[in-house]
Structure formats: structure tokens, C-alpha cells
Amino acid sequence: MNIGVVVFPGSNCDHDCEYIFKDVLGQSVKLIWHKDTLPAGLDAVVLPGGFSYGDYLRTGAIARFSPVMGAVKTFAREGGLVIGICNGFQILLEAGLLPGVMLRNTSLNFICKDVYVKVENAATRFTNRCESGQVLKIPIAHADGNYYTDPVTLGGIKANAQVIFRYCTAEGKVTPEANPNGSLDNIAGIMNADGNVLGMMPHPERSAETVLGNEDGRLIFLSILSAFGKSEQQSRLVSV
Amino acid sequence: MKSLVITQAILEQHKLSEDEYKKILEILGREPNWTELGMFSAMWSEHCSYKSSRIHLKKLPTTGPRVVQGPGENAGAVDIGDGLCAVFKMESHNHPSFIEPYQGAATGVGGILRDIFTMGARPIALLNSLRFGDLDNANTRHLLKGVVSGIAGYGNCMGVPTVGGEIVFNDIYALNPLVNVFCVGIARKDKIFLGKAAGVGNPVIYFGSKTGRDGIHGATMASDSFDEEAAQKRPTVQVGDPFTEKLLLEACLELMAGDCLVGIQDMGAAGLTSSACEMASREGTGVELELADVPRREPGMTPYEIMLSESQERMLMVAKAGREDEVINICRKWDLDVAVIGRVTDTGKVVLKENGQIVAEIPAKALADDGPRYDRPSSPPAYQEMLQSLNYDALPDVKDANAALLELLGSPTIASKRWVYEQYDHMVRTNTMVRPGSDAAVLRVKGTNKALALSVDCNGRYCLLNPYEGAKIAIAECARNLACSGAEPIGVTDCLNFGNPQRPEVMWQFVLAIEGLKDACEALSVPIVSGNVSLYNETNDLSIYPTPMIGMVGLIEEADHTATQWFKQAGDVIILLGRTKEDLGGTEYLKIVHHREQGSPPLLNLEEERAVQACTIRLIREGLVQSAHDCSDGGLAVALAECCVSGPDGQIGAVVQLPLDGLRRDALLFGESQSRILLSVEQDQADSVLNAARNAGVPASRIGVVGGSRLMIRVDGDQRVAGCTIDLEVPNVHERWASAIPRALGQD
């Protein structure tokens, strides 16, 4: 696969996403500077986590004006696969590629820890290697992951099976105690109506290798590969 | 140059003594002007010149086969093989954090990160050592919250994980908290960059943020004692901008990937003054700068203000002549201010001009290296004997060991620090194999099979009671934390926090602590490659405990050969390495239960320490160890409890039987004898582990079994108590340990 990872000023999970696709899964990855446009021939675009523009105005609010975002919108409109993780999800919301907004965590603190999410829809290009209802352990790391939208939109995305991940207990129960940030309906990740744009707060790239003690997140990346009829290549070591 | 009359009041304001001023007159052969006086004041401050400490620091061992860069540069570097180096340093931001906790801590993180990436290393981990007063004090809670969010705010945004640290709460730090930050980066051994202004005619280039009127005289403030007026020093604290620093980091690494750079240094304490004169002094050159070309936040700034501003996120570099455009284009790509502000000269002087007119002219070496040196008088404090003497016969032995254990686990110093580290992104860059909450953090090194283990440590109370032993123990315990992770220690950075060096008792502590560090480093064959000294940690004439904080880097050759501190599975056998003696002096138990900070701290035998560490590392490498945990604050009982409750995937009980061997019960359970490590091993490996330890000359005994839902510790040969001395439900133990800090903070 040809993957493009967008680098906004302040992105800080760009190298991690590159590492997973390139070094762990053996795919071809380009880092794309936000002032450039998308190169031709990409299969998927990743908007990585981080603090684009320092999160100084509101998470993702400035990044959506980055020159590359015009190309990302076109790419998405034409059916290209786009995944936004954490700050990438926030940017997708601000850019209108996904519905809703992010509020500050109810604790008002940044939270970094493992959480459990339930796969609500396994029939997507991002989750086809998961079972429906499967519980994944994936870490979160954010201060603004409290998803919110109006009741009509919420009804719509639920009815349309666009809610992909919900925070749950280790046993898969979706409870208020399992919700780390106050997110509406325990929502951890959603997809657009066309099924080609995913935003999720948890970081699957941080839980996709045995050396890090957890491979649950790898299923997301393997699902994307499967959607393109690919399987992972022999992983290889590269110099730092 | 304008002349001015230097009065006693002006000198005092600049913290320069009369003798120091005489030396300035000798160097210049004339009176300094206002700008020059300010530059001398900053560079000759304790913070920048190490004038009270330098003659003692020379005694520290700084060499070894792995050392690529020792002290004197922005950071130290040690070889980790595969053509790579670990680049690291620790620094304090104590005074600013007391005045303004969020920004003080944040800019502390920013400063240490710049020291690392200035060397050409990508920072991969941050740790911190914090000291606060007691949490029942509202101001301490304010400071803790502010410092933690400052560290989180800066480190998280930079995308450098904060993977570990330690916090001690003691009233002695109430008006002088300590914020020490330790950063580690990875660089290619053949691409280490140094702060040198080489090549006469090469351009001196400024890049990063603009210069503003903030932090002026920060270095001088940091070299001062505090009183009730401390809050008025807020304008000397800088304001951090982690977003700009992130751009600066990426721009630097992109510049360094090419070959246009000659030397580079960050503008930390004493800002443009220190970077300019240090870079020239190291190379024996001079620099000539045009201040009108320095990017500024506001008009009307004087040369004095420009030279002494400590605005953050700024860098000074020397590039190859003719390559200016390359540098400028990369900086502009990252939206950073950049300007050629001068040239390298052969005059040996820092010459400053403002619109072509000379406004200052000082020999670079005089500012950077020829500052005053003091061999300050030292003598033990009058109270030292009283501190060390403790009549144990007058202390009743523990009656309710259950209650004592719970009290210790619920004391904030020992309790879980989850509330703190969950606010730090400790996983970004996907290297963190062992997260905060074990003896050491472990990070894989991408592109190799290796991993690094990182730890910080210091017991200030031990150092108060016996500065030599306390400092020795700080090194030994830090190395022991690494050994428990399977890592061999390869380098040390230190951050020596002490009181006012003009007090002989403080110098006495300092000199003895240096001896302790030296002996321990030599015995464990680990060099000190970088560090920082923070003096004048006193408020209202009360000095902090001497706190020589240690940061240590350990190498794990095969990343799989690592261990964590928590018990893994029922049936595993618990083995104690090392000997338990009657070591109650200076313990957390004495403080928490008997409200005494007295006695002789445990004495450490470096040969025993070396043996127990080597043995543990070998056993972990051989795959025989399920868990390994250092016995420290709170002794054996607390260490066992931590093994039961600190695992990320749930808790497990243990049944332990200890021989009394003529000790007091409290010493057996809560004493802090050094050189002890708790292992758990699979049942069928227990005998071979015990034999291996004994063959290595390490005392080893089977003391119990993992499993069940209770923590039970029986004491054999105790006539006074039948049955269990400690018998608690593990969930109760966990609850007390896990909830202490959130509960203490919930008082607001």
C-alpha cells in the first residue's frame, strides 16, 4: 500500500504512524508536509496525533486551514481512505469531514492510560479483522477527547452504524465508569456515512507490537491492509 | 560607550561582590558599562559559573570506555553500540517553579529538551524528580498541581514521553520545592554537535522565538535565597511555548542532517550572553554581534535587555560561510524567526554593536571560564551529632504492623503516583516497554535489539543525616533500580540541590556528598557525564535537605531481557537477595509512625551492592526472573506490598515467612537495609536461582510464595505475636496505596 502521513506543525505521532505502516507492516509510507499537497497514487492518508499548532486556539481548529487539507478533502470526497487518530480525529471534526466536536475531558486533565473499546461495527474497511463486539485494549493520550454532537446527528450516526468504537470495561460493558473523558454515549471513534473516513481518539499505533506488550491496535492496521487486499510484509529493522 | 558610576547598591543588585568587581576592572582595564556589568553578573552568578562548587566537582569520575562526551557541553553522551549514543542531562528549575509553578516547571522541561537536541540527539524520554512540602498545606497542593500540569503541558506537546520519576513530600521543601528534569536522547555517534564558534568569518545565526523582556536576570534570581518577597520575582520567570520548541526541535534535526552546521547552543540561563561567550570560549575564538539584527518582540529594547533576556525557545548557531541560505530556508520552512546576527572573529572577544556602534567588548573566556572560584569554608553543623544519635531503646517496637504498613502505603511519598503520571503522555514515540510505576522505565531503541532503562533517585533525609552515605546510596539505589529491570548502568547525570553555600554546614554537606558520589560511581564503574548544581535552596534562612539527585541510564543488550517489579502468577517463589540488618535510622517508618527524622541512615557496602546487582542482571538475562523489585522506602513490608498491588493488570497476594534473627520487628519489616532485591521466580527455578545467588556470594533466601488474595507476613521466632504479623486483604492494601494522593488533593 501507499500511505501518506500528514505532518502538521506540532504533529508528534507522525513518526509512530510511519513506523507501524513501514517498519512493522512493510508498506510504503510518505511523510507529507502540511504546506504541500498530496502526491498522486496514495491509497490511504493518516492524520496523526499531536498538538497541531500547539492546540493554542482549539484542537484542530487551525490545522484545518493548512494547505494540505484541501487535498485531503478532495481525496476523501473521491473515496480515498482517511484515518485520523487523536489530534487527527479532532482535525477531521474541525474540517467537517466527520460530524461533531471535541470538548475538554470532564476531569479537565490530560489523560494517558490504557482503555478498553468495543468494536461496534466490524464491517468496515478499518475494522474488518475484528469481531463485532470485540473488546480491544488501546491507550488514549489527550486532554480534549470528550466527543459531543447534537441529538439528531447522534441518532443519525448510530442508526447508520457510524459509531465504530465505544469505551467499555474489560468485559465489554459500556458503562459510565468505563468512559475516561465524558464522551457522549462513550463514543471513542466514528466513521463518515460513506465509510471511508475514520476518526478515533485511542492510539492503535501504540498497541500494535509485542515488544510494547499489546497488539490489539494492530487489528486496525491489518484491517486497512485487508481492505486493499494486502497482508503485512516481513517486518524489517531500519536505522533510527 | 556611556560611562556610569558603579555604586555599592548597583553591585548588590547584580549580586557581585567587591572583590569580583575588582576582578572585572582588572580584566577590562577600565570600568564596565551597564551592559557589560549585566553580562558579568549573569555569567558569574552561581548558576552559570559554579563558583562555589567547581573545585569540588572536579573530583567526580567522568571518564570510561563508553563516554563520548563528558561534562562541559550542553549534555553528556555515552556509547550504546550500533553507532548510537545516549545523550542525557538533568537540570533544576526549583526557584522559578516556586514563584510560578506551571511556567517554572514547563520551561524547565523546555530547557533540558534543548540541551539534548542541541547535541544532535532526538529526545526519547523525560523523567522528573520532585520535592514538595506536605500535602495538607494548601500552597503545596497548588504547587504540585501547577508543576505537574506544567511538565505535562510542555512535554506532551513536544511529543517526548515522560516515562518516570519520583516525588517526595517533606515539610522541609514547603517553601523551596525541587523540580529536577532529566532528559535522554539518541544520537548517531558520528553526528554529535557541540557548542563551538569555530571558523573565523563563519556566520553566527540566531533562530527560534523572538527576544522579549522576559526572564531578565533569571540566572541571578536562581542564584539567590528566598524570603517573603519571592512572589515579587515573578517577572524573572520565563513563559514557555512548547509549540515553537517542537518546531525548533524538528528544524534543528533537519539542519543537522545536512553538513552546513559548525556549532550550536541553546540560549538557556543568561540567554544570548552565555551562548555567545561559551561558544567562543570553547573554541578560543571571538564573536562580533549586531544587536539591531536580533529578532525582537518589541521596540526599544536596550542592549542590556537583549543580552540578558531569557526568552525561551531560542538557539544560536555557527554555520559554514556561504551556507546561510540553506539554514535560513529550513528555519523558514518551520516558521521560525531567523537572522544572521554576526561573525566568528579571531579576537577572543565578545564584541556587541548596536547599529555599528560598539556597546560592549569583553574577552569571551573571562565571562565563560575565568569567573571567580571559591573554596568556601565547610564544617559540620552543630546539630549533626544530635541528628545522628537516636536512642532506639526508648522507641517502642511496632505493635500493630497491619496499621503501620497501611499508614506507610498511604503516605504520599510511598503511595501510587498514578494521579501524576496519567497526566503525562508516557507512550508517544512508541518505545515505552515499561511504563511509569516500576523501579525503572524501559524503552526500546528502534533499529536495534537494545533497550535503555532509566531511573532517578535520591533520599534527601539520608543525605541530611549522613551526606556521604546518602549520596552513595543515591547512586547505588538508582543503579539497583536499573538492575531490577535487567540493565547495566552506563552513565550518570546529577542535579545537586543544596542550600546556601556561604553557610559552612551546607558546604560540609556538599563536599561529603561529592565524596559519596565519587566512591559509589567508582565502585559501580559508572561515570558522571553531565550535571547541574542548584545552590541557595533556602527560604527564610532554612535550607532544604541536601538533595543530590541522580539520573541514570542503563543498557539492556537484548530488549526481551527485562523485568518489572510486580508479582506475575500464583505459585511463584519469592526470594530475597541481600541481608536485613537493624536499619531504622532515617527511615520513612520512623518519620511516618514515630515522627522522627533522626539516626544514622543505613550504611551501604559497595562490594555487596555490586554483587547483588550483577547477580540480578544475570538472572534476568537467563530468563529466570518473573519480577524484581528494589527494597527502599518503607523496607521489606512495603516492597512486598508494592509487588502485590502495582501491576497494571490487577493485584495478587503473597504468603511470606521471615526469620526474626534477633532483630526488632519494626526493623525487620520496615527497616531500610540497602543492597536488597525481592525476586519472584517460577517454582521449579527457585533452587537454581538460590544456588546461582549463593555461588555469586549474594545472600539469598526463599521467603514465601505468590498467590491468594491476602498479603500475609509471618515472623518466625517472635515470641510476642502468635500467627501473622501482617495479614491484610490485597484490595484493601491497594485501595490505601492507590487513593492516597487523589484523596489528599481532594481537600480543595
Report how far apart, in Å, the C-alpha atoms of A204 and of each of A13, A63, A127, B240 are. Answer: 11, 22, 12, 30
User: A43 CB near a chain B CB, below 8 Å?
Assistant: no
Distance from CA of A185 to the nearest CA of B (A): 23
Q: What is the arithmetic mean of pLDDT over B302-325? A: 94
Chosen from B249, B427, B452, B556 to mutate, greatest number of chain A CBs within 10 A: B427
pLDDT band, very low/low/confident/very high, at B237 (cuts 50, 70, 90): confident
Name the closest residue on chain B to residue A206, using Cα atoms: B430
Is B448's CB within 8 Å of A237's CB? yes
Every domain of chain A and the residues it spans:
2-239
Pure H helices in chain A: 14-18, 68-77, 87-94, 151-159, 218-227
User: B33 CB near a chain A CB, below 8 Å?
Assistant: no
Measured distance CA(A39)–CA(B212) in Å, rounded? 40
Q: Where are the beta strands (DSSP E) in B631-699?
A: 654-659, 677-681
User: B364 CB near a chain A CB, below 8 Å?
Assistant: no
- Per-residue model confidence (pLDDT) at position B87: 98
- Per-residue model confidence (pLDDT) at position B596: 94
pLDDT band, very low/low/confident/very high, at B216 (cuts 50, 70, 90): confident
pLDDT band, very low/low/confident/very high, at B8 (cuts 50, 70, 90): confident
CATH of A2-239, one of 3.90.480.10, 3.40.50.880, 3.30.360.10, 3.40.50.720: 3.40.50.880
User: A49 CB near a chain B CB, below 8 Å?
Assistant: yes
- Per-residue model confidence (pLDDT) at position B235: 64
For B510-545, how does the pLDDT look when each residue is reduced to its tens digit (9 = 90+)? 999 999 999 999 999 999 999 999 999 999 889 999
For A160-178, how does the pLDDT look when each residue is reduced to its tens digit (9 = 90+)? 999 999 999 999 999 999 9
Higher model confidence: residue B469 or residue B216?
B469
For B415-474, how does the pLDDT look when each residue is reduced to its tens digit (9 = 90+)? 999 999 999 999 999 999 999 999 999 999 999 999 999 999 999 999 999 999 999 999
User: A104 CB near a chain B CB, below 8 Å?
Assistant: no
User: A36 CB near a chain B CB, below 8 Å?
Assistant: no
Locate B90 and state its grid cell. Answer: 538533568
Scan residues 382-421 of B and list those with Cβ closer than 8 Å to A.
421
Write out the DSSP string of B72-132. TBSSEEEEEETTEEEEEEEEE-HHHHHHSHHHHHHHHHHHHHHHHHTTTPEEEEEEEEEEE
Parts of chain A with a pLDDT under 50: 235-240
pLDDT at B81 over 90: yes
Which residues from chain A sit within 8 angstroms of residue B430, using beta carbons? 16, 19-20, 205-206, 209, 212
3-state secondary structure of B211: strand
Measured distance CA(B410)–CA(B483) in Å, rounded? 27
- Per-residue model confidence (pLDDT) at position B1: 46
User: A54 CB near a chain B CB, below 8 Å?
Assistant: yes
Q: Judge whether B376 and B52 are in contact, CB under 8 Å.
A: yes
Name the closest residue on chain A to residue B246, using Cα atoms: A10
pLDDT at B748 over 60: no
- Per-residue model confidence (pLDDT) at position B219: 65
Higher model confidence: residue B217 or residue B110?
B110
Whole-prediction pTM = 0.95
Average of per-residue pLDDT values in chain A: 95
Report how far apart, in Å, the C-alpha atoms of A87 and of each of A46, A53, A54, A151, B312 are. Answer: 11, 11, 11, 24, 25
Q: Identify the CA nearest to B45 among candidates B366, B530, B372.
A: B372
For A53-92, how does the pLDDT look when each residue is reduced to its tens digit (9 = 90+)? 999 888 999 999 999 999 999 999 999 999 999 999 999 9
Please state the three-class secondary structure of B141-166 as a single string. Answer: HHHHHHHHHHHHHHHHHHCCCEEEEE
The alpha carbon of A184 is separated from its chain's Cα centroid by a whole number of angstroms, namely 17
Query: Which of B2-16, B62-76, B155-169, B700-714 has the lowest average pLDDT?
Result: B2-16
Q: What is the arithmetic mean of pLDDT over B93-111? A: 94
Measured distance CA(B47)–CA(B269) in Å, rounded? 8
Please give the single-letter amino acid code of residue B95. H
Q: Identify the CA nearest to B689 among candidates B584, B603, B589, B616.
A: B616
Is A240's CB within 8 Å of B186's CB? yes
Of the residues B56, B93, B95, B629, only one is catalytic, namely B93
Distance from CA of B221 to the nearest CA of A (A): 29
User: A159 CB near a chain B CB, below 8 Å?
Assistant: no
3-state secondary structure of B47: helix
Name the closest residue on chain A to residue B648, using Cα atoms: A114
pLDDT band, very low/low/confident/very high, at B122 (cuts 50, 70, 90): very high
Antiparallel, parallel or unpaired: β A81-85 and A44-47: parallel
Residues 6 or more apart whose Cβ sits within 8 Å of residue B687: none
- Per-residue model confidence (pLDDT) at position A119: 98
Number of other residues whose CB lies within 10 A of the CB of residue B379 = 11
Distance from CA of B297 to the nearest CA of A (A): 19
Measured distance CA(B486)–CA(A154) in Å, rounded? 50
For B150-191, how does the pLDDT look when each residue is reduced to its tens digit (9 = 90+)? 999 999 999 999 999 999 999 999 999 999 999 999 999 999
ipTM field: 0.96
The percentage of chain B sitting over the pLDDT mark of 70, rounded to a whole number, equals 96
Residues 6 or more apart whose Cβ sits within 8 Å of residue B718: B660, B665, B725
For B620-671, how does the pLDDT look when each residue is reduced to its tens digit (9 = 90+)? 999 999 999 999 999 999 999 999 999 998 999 999 999 988 899 999 999 9
Which residues from chain B sit within 8 angstroms of residue A143, using beta carbons? 156
Q: Identify the CA nearest to B282 among candidates B489, B93, B115, B72.
A: B72
